[in-house]
Structure 1
Amino acid sequence: MDARDFIKIGMSAERTLVVPTERTVGHFVPDMPMVYATPMMILEMEMASSDAIRAHLQPGWITVGTEVDIRHLGASLVGAVVRVTGKVTAVERRVIRFEVEAFEGERKIGDGRHARGLVNVEMFTKRLGAK
């Protein structure tokens, strides 16, 4: 399967969340501040990227995250409204590359690049079962 046949540069999606306690650094690491954790921001960036292309995938195919290069630029407190975007910037045969950003209001709190690999679920599951 060649992603270039159905994924186009510029496809994008956006996700919004209110930062819950469960997604803060302090929730995972005692004595750390109760601010939005970098891995949780990356999770939302990956999910927004996946959202941007999911409807265009053929039945039986998914994408999985394969690369992240992210900067977390500013802290956000519990209750902050965070908006995350993922936009396709390049499409290779089985790799889709994205520009990702996160904002609290107009303030950019994160940015970077992300890649997702195109995977056939049945073949992937068989390979995992062989391990």
Structure 2
Amino acid sequence: MADLSSLKVGLEGSASALVTEERLATRVGSGNVPVFASPMLIAVMEAAAVDCLEGHLPENYQSLGVQLNVAHTAPTPIGFTVTAKATLKEVSGRKLTFDVTASDGVEQIGSGVHTRIVVDTPRFMARLAAKSLPRR
């Protein structure tokens, strides 16, 4: 098992995304209203969790998102910037749990819990490559 001792409850990370045409629900297929899409909200929340871990994982290790429970509670129009914050709330072996929130500069637009798993990158990539081989 990798040394994950630098992962401490309370670590924080953030990420932002400008609401552009490409990030609207109407563009990504998640609705018929031209507002920031829920899949894009989830992506910026995941990016905040990744930012939280920056510099804290051993060499040749990374984290992968495995679970999200998010409420998207307010709409955001094009031109606004959405900022997500992730706070590490639990470390259980290689399982990391984060509280995540997002706001658009006017109000909080989403919140939830996100779980990531720490993986050995070369081992993970070997598994992926094996899965990509032609099946008989």
* Fold match (TM-score > 0.5): yes
- Distance in 1 (alpha carbons) for counterparts of 2:97 and 2:49: 9
Per-residue deviation, 1:106: 4.3
- Distance in 2 (alpha carbons) for counterparts of 1:13 and 1:29: 28
**Is the contact between residue 65 and residue 114 of structure 1 (CA under 8 Å) also seen in structure 2?**
yes
Q: Percent identity?
A: 29
Q: What letter corresponds to residue 39 of structure 1 in structure 2?
A: P
**Is the contact between residue 14 and residue 47 of structure 2 (CA under 8 Å) also seen in structure 1?**
no
Aligned ranges 1:10-89 → 2 under 5 Å: 10-29=10-29, 32-89=32-89
Per-residue deviation, 1:51: 0.6
Per-residue deviation, 1:27: 1.0
**Is the contact between residue 70 and residue 110 of structure 1 (CA under 8 Å) also seen in structure 2?**
yes
Q: What secondary structure does 2:125 align onto? A: helix
**Is the contact between residue 16 and residue 82 of structure 2 (CA under 8 Å) also seen in structure 1?**
yes
26-35 or 48-57, which deviates more: 26-35
Larger relative contact order, structure 1 or 2 (CA cutoff 8 Å, min sep 6): 1
Q: What letter corresponds to residue 73 of structure 2 in structure 1?
A: L
**Is the contact between residue 2 and residue 93 of structure 1 (CA under 8 Å) also seen in structure 2?**
no
Contiguous gaps of at least 5 residues in structure 1: none
**TM (normalized to structure 2)?**
0.90
Q: Tell me if 1:103 matches 2:88.
A: no
Per-residue deviation, 1:16: 2.2
Contiguous gaps of at least 5 residues in structure 2: 132-136
- Distance in 2 (alpha carbons) for counterparts of 1:27 and 1:3: 42
Q: What letter corresponds to residue 40 of structure 1 in structure 2?
A: M
